[in-house]
Amino acid sequence: MERFWWSSLLGTPIDYVAQGANVIDAALQILDDTTFWAYIPQHSLTLEYGEGLMFILPRYMPDMYIDKLISKFNLISLTSKKLTCLNLFIYANCCEADNFLKSLTDSTQDEEIRNKVAEILKQTSVSRSHNEKKYGKLFEKRKKDVLTRISDEAMYENIKITMKMRKTFKCDKK
């Protein structure tokens, strides 16, 4: 693909999301093109393959997209592209995403994938809490305060609030 300005491919879905539209299926098509990248000139920021989805997917509850993201991930053949997509599972902030990541630690996966997953799980495994009110506040803060902007600052804020969410909420031990 050619160079794309954020307003043409990332800005439009984000505008639709802000109006309440579900753009998950359209957004996940970004993963179908391994050459996709977006440039945000106001911040001299280049979003490589899959990175733009960190501004779109976390706006939705993970149960709306996690199965689709797993399916897309399984269709990606290049290890380098899979490594980029692994971060999207962190932003999902759900037990299903963590369980999928844990499933990638077996010997059928490339060593780079296994190492990255081990690093992710060590740092970010979801915890368990029944404090839905606190989770809801953090979710809304991330959605309304952080993900309304596409910038390197917003990327760092997204990571920070996501880590706070992940430390607060745990999966049930089964």
Alpha carbons 9 and 3: distance in angstroms, whole number:
10
What is the mean pLDDT for each group of 10 consecutive residues in the chain (174 residues)?
Answer: 43 62 83 76 72 82 92 91 87 86 88 90 65 78 80 82 75 54
DSSP string, 92-131: H-SHHHHHHHHHTTSTTS-HHHHHHHHHHHHHH--B----
Alpha carbons 35 and 20: distance in angstroms, whole number:
29
Please state the domain extents for the chain: 4-168
Alpha carbons 42 and 159: distance in angstroms, whole number:
21
pLDDT at position 130: 58
Global pTM value: 0.76
Nearest to 40 by CA among 51, 32, 24: 51
pLDDT at position 6: 41
